[in-house]
């Protein structure tokens, strides 16, 4: 009820003056004034706040590698597309490292092919498939088969010798043949074991060659990335708002290079008193105007509401999103903000020329005509422009407002409408 209190203050302040003039009211000549009739409207209930426009996204870019800046193809205010080069470092060292890595990868590839050739194309998952091992195994199998056959012949010759059916010489030949077969089996076994061991060693060499190739490929990948990192690219489409380096400067991963802002859409950061927490929610319509465009209002919508209240300012942050298709709004602009709370109320619209501000009481007041005399009214405003003001309380819808010569008026003064 601030406006009621202000009425009391104003009336006390003016009481002496009004009292001294009461005796002169009848004798005083009417004050000639111009008037305007109030107009009733149904207007949305809006919360008046202030805010600051900010980029929807902002990134200050740095380099992952150190080097000398070769070229900076962008300037402040330039539009950049996602992936566009904004800073390019000297690439000579990175290119040489990539060439060296490619040569090592080529060498590792050749070593692997040699290892595979030594081991044999048959090696996939089992060492027994290596050609040398397969040949040695075949020789061993043949010797073992021959040994088994000669063992049978030796046993038969021994039995016949006991019965006197063969001579001693025949038995000795069978026994000698078996001994030679056993020797061949022993030799074939050694050859097989040697081939298997050689295959194991070759397999180890093959694994090492494969590991070396994988390492070389990894080094090539790192070299390619290092070369690619010498070109710093825009992470999203936007506009360059700052460029901190020029050609010839040395930079590292701590150096700030370029700042890119996404301003379409643009966000408006509004600090809202905690007392309004129950009325603010995403989806509410927002109007904002900035000094650069005078009375032009821009429309947006509440996008995000911070759930935490700042204990120092007793306010919480609200973000509204504005499309900004014409790029008229810029980050950093201060804005008057009206948040539509989704409800309406009755107001009285009068010309702005009929409103006075009392600096002593910081109150708004208008002069009306009632029964031919001037009456002072304290009013609560709901909105204003350069030509009109909207009165929420303190003024009837059919009120006649004085818009001229108010300095000559006092409460109860006779007036004449021109």
Are 21 and 120 part of one and the same domain?
no
Beta bridge partners of 40: 348
Beta bridge partners of 139: none
pLDDT of residue 69: 96
Backbone angles phi, psi at 233, to 5 degrees: -115, 155
The structural domain count of the chain equals: 3
Buried-state track 166-187, b at ≥16 Cβ within 10 A, e below 16: beeeebeebeebbeebbebbee
229, 250, 269 — which closes off a domain? Answer: 229
CATH of the domain at 18: 2.40.420.20
Q: Cα separation of 52 and 265, whole Å?
A: 14
Are 2 and 68 part of one and the same domain?
no
pLDDT of residue 126: 64
Beta bridge partners of 50: 336
Q: Which domain holds residue 223?
A: 93-229
Please tell me whether residue 416 adopts helix, strand or coil conformation: strand
User: How is the beta sheet containing 85-89 ordered, strand by strand?
Assistant: 231-233, 85-89, 67-71, 250-251
pLDDT of residue 127: 63
**Residue 399 placed within a domain:** yes
**Residue 161 placed within a domain:** yes
209, 229, 249 — which closes off a domain? Answer: 229
Are 18 and 131 part of one and the same domain?
no
**Residue 290 placed within a domain:** no
- Which residue's structure tokens are 């802002």? 261
Q: Cα separation of 350 and 312, whole Å?
A: 39
Are 78 and 100 part of one and the same domain?
no
- Which residue's structure tokens are 């809006």? 46
Are 202 and 217 part of one and the same domain?
yes
Determine whether 236 is exposed, middle or buried from the number of CB atoms within 10 Å of its CB (0-12, 13-18, 19+): middle
**Residue 68 placed within a domain:** yes
Q: What does the pLDDT look like over 148-175, one tens digit per residue?
A: 888 888 888 888 878 777 788 888 888 8
**Residue 314 placed within a domain:** no
Backbone angles phi, psi at 395, to 5 degrees: -145, 130
**Residue 319 placed within a domain:** no
Q: Where are the beta strands (DSSP E) in 274-372?
A: 285-290, 298-305, 315-322, 334-351, 356-358, 363-370
Are 197 and 174 part of one and the same domain?
yes
Taken in order 243, 245, 248, 254, the sign of the CA dihedral is negative
229, 250, 284 — which closes off a domain? Answer: 229
Are 73 and 178 part of one and the same domain?
no
pLDDT of residue 157: 82
> Quick one: which of 98, 99, 102 has its CA closest to 216?
102
What region does 51 belong to: left with phi over 0, alpha with psi -120 to 50, or beta? beta
Residue/partner pairs of 392-396 with CB below 8 Å, 24 or more apart: 392/345, 392/347, 393/3, 394/3, 395/38, 395/348, 395/350, 395/366, 395/368, 396/38, 396/348
> Quick one: which of 28, 210, 255 has its CA closest to 108?
210
Are 250 and 140 part of one and the same domain?
no
Give alpha helix (H) positions in 23-130.
Answer: 92-119
Residue-by-residue pLDDT tens, the chain, 418 positions? 344 444 444 444 444 444 444 445 445 688 888 998 888 888 888 899 999 999 999 999 999 999 999 999 999 999 999 999 999 999 999 999 999 999 999 998 998 888 777 665 444 446 666 677 778 888 888 888 888 888 888 888 888 878 777 788 888 888 888 888 888 888 888 887 777 677 666 666 667 778 888 999 999 999 999 999 999 999 999 999 999 999 999 999 999 999 999 999 999 999 999 999 999 999 999 999 999 998 899 999 999 999 999 999 999 999 999 999 999 999 999 999 999 998 888 899 999 888 988 888 888 999 999 888 889 989 998 877 888 888 988 888 888 899 888 888 888 889 888 8
> Quick one: which of 286, 217, 243, 257 has its CA closest to 89?
257
Q: Cα separation of 403 and 401, whole Å?
A: 6
* Full-model pTM: 0.61
Structure tokens at 12: 């006390």
Backbone angles phi, psi at 107, to 5 degrees: -65, -45
> Quick one: which of 71, 56, 112, 362 has its CA closest to 236?
56
pLDDT of residue 207: 74
Are 76 and 111 part of one and the same domain?
no
**Residue 243 placed within a domain:** yes
Listed in sequence order, the residues at least 6 apart from 23 whose beta carbon sits closer than 8 Å to its beta carbon are none
Structure tokens at 112: 């692997």
Per-residue CA distances from 367 to 242, 376, 404, 408 (Å): 53, 5, 10, 11
**Residue 312 placed within a domain:** no
Are 128 and 147 part of one and the same domain?
yes
Q: What does the pLDDT look like over 96-119, one tens digit per residue?
A: 999 999 999 999 899 888 877 766
Q: Cα separation of 85 and 353, whole Å?
A: 56
Are 27 and 130 part of one and the same domain?
no
Q: What does the pLDDT look like over 300-354, one tens digit per residue?
A: 999 999 999 999 999 999 999 999 999 999 999 999 999 999 888 889 999 988 8
Are 199 and 103 part of one and the same domain?
yes
């Amino acid at each position: 009820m601030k406006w009621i209190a202000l009425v009391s203050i104003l009336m006390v302040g003016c009481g002496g003056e009004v009292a001294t003039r009461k005796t002169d009211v009848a004798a005083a000549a009417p004050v000639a004034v111009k008037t305007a009739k109030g107009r009733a409207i149904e207007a949305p209930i809006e919360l008046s706040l202030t805010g600051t426009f900010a980029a929807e996204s902002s990134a200050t870019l740095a380099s992952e590698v150190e080097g000398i800046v070769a070229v900076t193809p962008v300037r402040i205010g330039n539009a950049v597309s996602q992936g566009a080069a904004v800073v390019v470092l000297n690439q000579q060292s990175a290119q040489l490292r990539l060439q060296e890595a490619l040569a090592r990868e080529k060498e590792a590839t050749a070593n692997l092919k040699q290892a595979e050739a030594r081991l044999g194309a048959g090696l996939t998952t089992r060492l027994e498939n290596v050609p040398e091992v397969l040949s040695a195994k075949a020789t061993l199998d043949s010797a073992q088969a021959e040994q088994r056959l000669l063992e049978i012949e030796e046993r038969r010759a021994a039995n016949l010798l006991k019965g006197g059916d063969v001579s001693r010489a025949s038995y000795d030949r069978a026994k000698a043949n078996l001994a030679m077969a056993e020797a061949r089996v022993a030799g074939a076994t050694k050859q097989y074991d040697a081939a298997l061991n050689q295959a194991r060693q070759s397999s180890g060499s093959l694994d090492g060659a494969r590991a070396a190739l994988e390492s070389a490929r990894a080094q090539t990948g790192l070299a390619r990335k290092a070369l690619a990192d010498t070109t710093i690219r825009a992470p999203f489409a936007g506009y360059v708002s700052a460029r901190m380096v020029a050609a010839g400067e040395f930079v590292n991963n701590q150096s700030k290079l370029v700042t890119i802002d996404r301003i379409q859409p643009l966000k408006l950061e509004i600090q809202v008193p905690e007392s309004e927490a129950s009325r603010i929610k995403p989806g509410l319509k927002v109007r904002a105007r900035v000094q650069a465009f005078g009375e032009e209002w821009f429309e947006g919508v509440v996008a995000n509401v911070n759930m935490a209240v700042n204990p120092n300012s007793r306010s919480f942050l609200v973000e509204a999103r504005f499309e900004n298709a014409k790029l008229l709004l810029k980050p950093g602009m201060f804005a008057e903000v009206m948040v539509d709370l989704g409800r309406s109320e009755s107001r009285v619209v009068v010309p702005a020329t009929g409103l006075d501000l009392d600096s002593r009481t910081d109150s708004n007041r208008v002069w009306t005509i009632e029964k031919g005399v001037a009456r002072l009214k304290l009013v609560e405003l709901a909105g204003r422009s350069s030509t009109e003001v909207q009165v929420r309380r303190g003024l009837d819808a059919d009120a006649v407002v004085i818009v001229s010569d108010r300095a000559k008026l006092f409460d109860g003064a006779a007036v004449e409408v021109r």
